[in-house]
Structure 1
Amino acid sequence: MTATGSATGSGPGTGPGPRTLRLGTLGFDRGAHLLVRRALLDLRPGQELAVAGDDPALPVHLRAWCRAHGHELRLPDPGGGPGGQEADGVRARIVRGRADLDRWSDAERAGGPGPGGLVARPSPAWGLAARGALVESGGPAGPFDLADRDHVWADVTPHLYARAAAEQWDPGRAVDWEAPFTLPGEVERAVVQVMTYLVENEQAALVVPARLLARIHPHFREVLQLLAVQAADEARHMEVFTRRALLRGGEMGTSSAGGRESLDTLLTEPDFSLASFLLSVLGEGSFLSLLAFLERHAPDPVTRRITALARRDEARHVAFGVAHLHQRGTVDPALRGRLRAAVERRHDALTDTSGLNADVFDSLVVLAAGEWNPEAIGRGHDAVLALQSEMDEGRQRRLVHLGFPADEAAELSALHTRNLM
């Protein structure tokens, strides 16, 4: 950047004479303070900066600026040279004060050493300051109760966020909504019912990370970014599943009270790790199998495409949940006990509910059958039972990865909600 003014004379340690800043016609109303401030940075407290300039209001603006920034201003003797200036055009002299230095004397960096600067427990006083910034004292403390790295972090988070950002897709372009297909009425109604169920679950999957976002200390910005993209993923899934449900002009399917009650238990879990466990590891982990099932048995190209796209997104959500819990489990031996208690607590709360909407189960059978005859319906029913077994096996694998013994993993997986999510 090239300055519009010039500084001459001696600087610190270069001689006894004061340094002179020549502003020409530039006034404070057009940025002269930037050049004054820059010139003062080269001086020590007590040293003097002479300021020359042609703007008539310069002495007035200098007086106000110096008072605000803690510097002493010395104006020429009114009886001196013409226009209230010295022989060499100097209009004022500034004695460097300590105020600008003292402002940052007790400041601290919002982060640790190294490129990442991540710390285990960021100060509440850092608030919304960027990680690594020099934080002036006296600002407001942020309302962030999730301010412990082990409670929210996973080392894979930056990579997952970069991947998530690169894999965003536009529903209007990624899906050929005009693809020709014709389905029997019963099959179309089955698709609509499954889409209705998916929208309901995706709405819960959006609310959970959205609620957690506002509680996480911004120091862990990659977690905020990843959860924000996760919420955007779910919003996009809600859009495409709704759009497919209404594609042929019909109405949405049914929503069971038991299904909504099951999802409500996800919304009331306040602990970040437990919420991630119930939603991402168990719920969305099971949904990976469901989306693969729907892609495999989709009766039309639109259903096949949107379930494939959603499954790719959900895989990232599951990956973060598993990585976070695995990493936290290495430093918190009591975590597994709390995870088990969360599963049992949710199971007990849902004991008297009906579980999976019967209309959804039957619709999955119809989609897997592909035909309306006893043999096909039997195959479709067996395929849905196999899907539930596949979900159970996937939950057990993830639980074992988190450190649960195989028998305990099987027991906890069996307690997972019958509503699948």
Structure 2
Amino acid sequence: MSATPVAALDLGDLGFGRGAHLLVQRALAGLPPGGRLAVSGRDPALRVHLPAWCRGRGHRVEWPDRGEANELVAVVVRGSADDDRWFGAERAGPALPSALSSRPPARWGLGARGALLEAGGPEARFDLDDRDLVWADIAPHLYAQAAARQWDPQTAVPWDDPFALPADVEAAVVQVMTYLVENEQAALVVPARFVGRIHPHFREVVQLLAVQMADEARHMEVFSRRALLRGAEMGTSSAGGRQSLFTLVAESDFALASFLLSVLGEGSFVDLLSFLHEFAPDPVTRRICWLAMQDERRHVVFGMAHLEHQAQSDPLLRDRLRAAIHRRHDSLVDTAGLNADVFDALVVLAAGGWHPDDVSAGFDRVQALQHAMDQGRQRRLVRLGFRADEAAALSALHTRNFM
């Protein structure tokens, strides 16, 4: 004699084609393996659909009674599968970032981390599928911080604040803004080249890089807008500067691109933005440089954390970083480096006047900026494991174009 069912479910006229399986699934979820559920209903296709659905999920159906006229009564015996097993699926991986897979398989594809994965489907290929190649433990925190600190270019900047600058000072601002736009365009393109190559299992890194791209897009907007704010045309763009930036865009290795862009380039860029914030001749320039500086600091933090993480598992990483610096230096050795118009514009802004003593002081301040950039690069190189003397030598090889 069959055991007595411990639960009952009346489907009424609802059939599996209109959602009856949701009610059956919910009722079974509350039963232990071997638990029994009496299912009744009047849908004529229930006799076919119920056992088919149960077979796919490891449950058994018994037919102890035909029930009343036009009503089906069956008993579903819960199988031994986990409560959350759907479609014969298996867990794709742990749901918590602290339990990331070190090498997620291609068959996980675009499946959400921790989701139950139906068998079959495409095997999407993401070549950056090794945790040690892309991860940093700080990535989830940085993404949350970045998302919370997004700012609106229209409302965060005092575009309408009144100010008037001498024509030559305004021209210096325009030239520097033109240079900043070029650098930010490169800083957007570099992560854009890698986002589609990173396995979605490492979603916090993908999200962080996506926000980083949004940061750079905003910077391009506000720097362009400031350049054109008083009706001037954009400044000059040097061939050497563009070639220097192109070496960043052309780098196909994620670690090396992060190193050259974030650790060396954007690290120096933070110093430049701090300098411009200090010597900005108007409130709009001061504000946009401060806002961009906060974003760029976050980019540098991730670049450093990512490379420090990778260095723990790859003893040859420093050799590759060293070679990347030499390779970039050799490719740019015949270029002019920093646009002379940009250097002169920085001197004008730092001088704050046209007396010879003012210009001399402005020149000294720009040289102090370059020294601060060099010292910052050295500190970051030492953090990555280079000796102090080698860090100094490698920093000296960094492009004169700052980024």
Match of 1:370 among 352, 356, 362: 352
SS across alignment from 2:129? coil
The reply on whether 1:315 has 2:302 as its aligned counterpart is no
Distance 1:399 1:43, change over 3 A: closer
Match of 2:45 among 51, 60, 63: 60
Unaligned stretches of 5+ residues in structure 2: none
SS across alignment from 1:388? helix
Q: Distance in 2 between matches of 1:191 and 1:110?
A: 53
Q: 1:110: how far off?
A: 2.5
Q: 1:197: how far off?
A: 0.5
Q: Which residue pairs with 2:176 in the alignment?
A: 194
Q: Which residue pairs with 1:122 in the alignment?
A: 104
Give the conservation status (yes or no) of the 8 Å contact 2:266–2:296. yes
Aligned residue runs from structure 1 range 373-392, under 5 A: 373-392=355-374
The reply on whether 1:184 has 2:166 as its aligned counterpart is yes
1:206 is aligned with what amino acid?
L
Q: Distance in 1 between matches of 2:113 and 2:325?
A: 36
Q: Distance in 1 between matches of 2:148 and 2:389?
A: 39
Match of 1:284 among 266, 270, 290: 266
Alignment RMSD (CA, Å):
3.0
Give the conservation status (yes or no) of the 8 Å contact 1:154–1:324. yes
2:23 is aligned with what amino acid?
L
Larger-Rg structure: 1
Q: 1:61: how far off?
A: 6.0
Q: 1:50: how far off?
A: 4.1
For normalisation by structure 2, the TM-score amounts to 0.89
Distance 1:14 1:307, change over 3 A: farther
Distance 1:158 1:281, change over 3 A: same
Q: Distance in 1 between matches of 2:68 and 2:87?
A: 39
The reply on whether 1:135 has 2:124 as its aligned counterpart is no
Distance 1:43 1:86, change over 3 A: farther
Q: Distance in 1 between matches of 2:287 and 2:316?
A: 42
2:212 is aligned with what amino acid?
Q
Cα deviation 1:192-225 (Å, max 9, x = unaligned): 1100110110011011111111111111111111
Give the conservation status (yes or no) of the 8 Å contact 1:117–1:131. no
Q: Distance in 1 between matches of 2:97 and 2:202?
A: 14
Mean Cα displacement is larger for which, 103-112 or 295-304?
Answer: 103-112
SS across alignment from 1:116? helix
Distance 1:194 1:36, change over 3 A: same
Distance 1:318 1:43, change over 3 A: closer
Distance 1:340 1:115, change over 3 A: closer
Cα deviation 1:290-335 (Å, max 9, x = unaligned): 0011011100000000001111110111111111112221222211
Give the conservation status (yes or no) of the 8 Å contact 1:110–1:126. yes
Match of 1:171 among 144, 147, 153: 153
Q: Which residue pairs with 2:247 in the alignment?
A: 265
Q: Distance in 2 between matches of 1:409 and 1:17?
A: 75
Q: 1:384: how far off?
A: 1.2
Q: Distance in 2 between matches of 1:162 and 1:50?
A: 47
Match of 2:221 among 239, 243, 260: 239
SS across alignment from 1:255? coil
Match of 1:410 among 372, 379, 392: 392
Q: Distance in 1 between matches of 2:93 and 2:41?
A: 42
Match of 1:24 among 2, 12, 22: 12
Cα deviation 1:382-409 (Å, max 9, x = unaligned): 2111111111111111111111111111
Q: Distance in 2 between matches of 1:62 and 1:200?
A: 68
Q: Distance in 1 between matches of 2:267 and 2:35?
A: 67
Q: 1:98: how far off?
A: 7.8
Aligned residue runs from structure 1 range 44-59, under 5 A: 49-53=38-42, 58-59=43-44
Q: Which residue pairs with 1:91 in the alignment?
A: 72
Q: 1:135: how far off?
A: 2.0
Match of 2:328 among 327, 335, 346: 346
Q: Distance in 2 between matches of 1:162 and 1:143?
A: 27
Cα deviation 1:47-86 (Å, max 9, x = unaligned): 7854223xxxx21365356546647999999xxxxxxx74
Q: Distance in 2 between matches of 1:112 and 1:64?
A: 33
Q: How many residues align?
A: 397
SS across alignment from 1:121? coil
2:12 is aligned with what amino acid?
G
Cα deviation 1:355-393 (Å, max 9, x = unaligned): 111111111111111112322222212211111111111
Give the conservation status (yes or no) of the 8 Å contact 1:70–1:100. no
Percent of matched pairs sharing the same residue? 63
Distance 1:310 1:114, change over 3 A: closer
Q: Which residue pairs with 2:197 in the alignment?
A: 215
Unaligned stretches of 5+ residues in structure 1: 1-12, 78-84
Q: 1:264: how far off?
A: 0.7
Q: 1:92: how far off?
A: 5.6
Q: Which residue pairs with 2:136 in the alignment?
A: 154
Cα deviation 1:129-154 (Å, max 9, x = unaligned): 22122223322222211111111111
Distance 1:248 1:47, change over 3 A: same
Q: Distance in 1 between matches of 2:95 and 2:165?
A: 61
SS across alignment from 1:51? strand
For normalisation by structure 1, the TM-score amounts to 0.85
Give the conservation status (yes or no) of the 8 Å contact 1:20–1:52. no
1:292 is aligned with what amino acid?
S
SS across alignment from 1:270? coil
